[in-house]
Structure 1
Amino acid sequence: MEKEAISIKDLHVSYYGNEAIKGVSISVQPGNLVGIIGPNGAGKSTLLKAMLNLIPKDKGDIKVFGKTVKEVRKKIAYVPQRNDIDWDFPITVLDAVLLGTYPNLQLFRRPKKKEKEWALECLQRVGMEEFSKRQIGELSGGQQQRVFLARALAQKAELFYLDEPFVGVDASSEETIVTILKELCLQGKTVIVVHHDLSKANDYFNQLILLNKELISFGEVNEVIQADIIEKAYKGQFAFMKEMGV
């Protein structure tokens, strides 16, 4: 697609009268793997949810492929934080992934054999096909995250949003998830990830949004991870910066 994957202009978001996002403007081209980073309370998840139109904004303009989020909702897949999901819900792994096929079904149509085969293919891609009949709450944190990535893959989206996908996840699952996200970008998809570990930013992403309520920096990873820029966001957390090697 020729249009910008995401265009945000002067975005402001408040919670209970306190401004959480102040005047953020960014433009993301298709095919990028973008990390949203910043200190705790910086508004990373708030920015992601505002991009998805899941929370109201005070003002600003958000376009996806040149259209409103509502107009292109089917092209957008979202993997929420694990603590936002009811793991006791009585649904199997396969049925959870099948939910990803619903946006592309005609009204009142249920998934058929073709959709089930596609869902199993998506589970196979994340290495979870053998768990297809398990209840989602029986899985480990890494396995759960793989299943919800498979659900996103099943949607055949163009734009993927993931909120802290590596929290509580084993190293093998993290590696699997990162590999798939990079493959998606090579296919021209766009991926936005809320992430808290700066030490892995260079390995995982090709662009970064550095946030602390307002936009501190946006661009290629090596442009953003500079000592003076990081210090602006993390307010002199020198031990942290030394650990990151910046």
Structure 2
Amino acid sequence: MGSEALSINNLHVSYHGNEAIKGVSLSINSGNLVGIIGPNGAGKSTLLKAMLNLIPRDKGSVKVMGKAIKDTRKQIAYVPQRSDIDWDFPITVIDAVLLGTYPHLKLFRRPSKKDKKWAIQCLDKVGMKEFSKRQIGELSGGQQQRVFLARALAQQADLFFLDEPFVGVDVSSEETIIQILKELCQQGKTVIVVHHDLSKANDYFHQLILLNKELIGFGSVDEVFQPEVIGRAYQGQFAFMNEIGVTL
């Protein structure tokens, strides 16, 4: 894989005095598709948002390509959880995707014809070109997620962060999304995904971050997907372990 894309050093996050993330340190090289996994309440989305400086950190640092987040915003695309988005907002599919071009526009400039053509190409990439004039709230869950991936593609970022992108989507949309994410990595991009379905971890990811408030494991899928490592994170949830084919 390529050079260091992301580094996290001793990251701590708390809510109302309760520590949600404890001393996480790791580094990810470019070209990797990385899954953040762990039980409910493990702090997966919290870690993602703390990486992006969307929530306060108690201490610790995060660098993208050796620079602070504030200096690399244009290189980062973020797809939030669907539950975090106001789907009643009166915006069409094409205008939602065009938002991805804004970080590269000069002050007070509106998207050009070239930008609009690029946005249509991104919609075509995710199979949503024919829905460009629809209001985003009229779409199915899978279609909505495809649109927000198109918005991320329109940004032409180097790092992509997705928070539970496969929740509430149809099988076809999930297959489309993961294929595009894999293609991004083949282009040297880095993709980090909060994910809950461990049965697909081996097919989807190059590396896994296994979390339960603190870092339990980080490395290749084969390294992390070991019974003793998974067991430490899920703390004896035997029925779950059997379900995903891990024998303790």
Specify the TM-score bucket, using the shorter chain as the normaliser: over 0.9
Whether 1:133 aligns to 2:171 is no
Q: Report if aligned partners of 1:22, 1:214 keep a CA contact under 8 Å in 2.
A: yes
Shift of 1:61: 1.2
Alignment of 1:203-218 (within 5 A): 203-218=203-218
Query: Normalised by the size of structure 1, how large is the TM-score?
Result: 0.99
Query: Which one-letter code corresponds to 2:36 in the other structure?
Result: I
Give 1:50's aligned residue. Answer: 50
> CA offset at residue 147 of structure 1?
0.0
For the 8 Å contact 1:3–1:66, the answer to whether it is kept is no
Cα distance in structure 2, aligned partners of 1:198 and 1:162: 16
Structure 1 consecutive aligned stretches of length 4 or more whose deviation exceeds 2 Å: none
Aligned CA-pair RMSD: 0.9
Which amino acid in 2 is paired with 1:24? V
The one-letter amino acid paired with 1:95 is D
Unaligned regions of 5+ residues in structure 2, if any? none
Correspondence 1:12-161 to 2 at 5 A? 12-161=12-161
Q: Name the SS for the 1:5 alignment partner.
A: strand
1:3 offset after TM fit, Å? 4.3
* Residues 4, 65 of structure 2: 8 Å contact kept: yes
Letter in 2 for 1:210: L
| Cα distance change, pair 2–220 in 1 and its aligned pair in 2 (3 A) | closer
Deviations 1:194-225 (A, max 9, x none): 00111000011010000000000000001100
Please name the residue that 1:222 is paired with: 222
SS at match of 1:47: helix
Q: Quick one: which amino acid aligns to residue 190 of structure 2?
A: T
Question: Using the alignment, how far apart are the partners of 1:2 and 1:172 within structure 2?
Answer: 31
The residue type paired with residue 225 of structure 2 is I
Deviation at 1:85, TM superposition (A): 0.3
| 1:191 CA drift (Å) | 0.2
Provide the C-alpha distance between the structure 2 equivalents of 1:136 and 1:232, rounded to a whole number of angstroms.
41
Q: Contact between 1:31 and 1:187, CA under 8 Å: does it hold in 2? A: yes
Which whole-Å deviations, capped at 9, do the CAs of 1:6-57 have from their partners, x for residues lacking one? 1001100000100000000010000000000000000000000000000010
How far, CA to CA, are the matches of 1:40 and 1:242 in structure 2? 17
Distance 1:190 1:42 in 2: 23
How far apart in 2 are the matches of 1:77 and 1:61?
A: 19
Q: 1:82 touches 1:145 (CA, 8 Å); kept in 2?
A: yes
Tell me the SS of whatever aligns to 2:110. Answer: coil
Matched residues in 2 for 1:100 and 1:86: separation?
17
Per-residue deviation at 1:243? Answer: 1.2
Could you tell me how far 1:124 is from its partner in structure 2?
0.1
How many residues align? The count is: 246
1:131 maps to a residue whose letter is F
Deviation, structure 1 residue 2:
6.1
Task: Report the alpha carbon displacement of residue 149 of structure 1 after superposing the two structures with TM.
Answer: 0.1
Pair 1:191-2:185 in alignment: no
State the shift of 1:133 in Å.
0.1
What amino acid sits opposite 1:45 in the alignment? S
Q: Distance in 2 between matches of 1:244 and 1:226?
A: 12
Unaligned 5+ segments in structure 1 are: none
SS at match of 1:91: coil
Identical counterparts, % of pairs: 79
* Cα distance in 2, alignment partners of residues 52 and 79 from structure 1: 12
**Secondary structure, counterpart of 1:14 in structure 2:** strand
Say whether the 8 Å CA contact 2:2–2:188 is kept in structure 1: no
**1:104-123 CA distances to partner (integer Å, 9 max, x unpaired)?**
01111100100000000000
- What's the secondary structure of 1:12's corresponding residue? strand
TM-score between the two structures when normalised by the length of structure 2: 0.98
The aligned counterpart of 1:177 is: 177
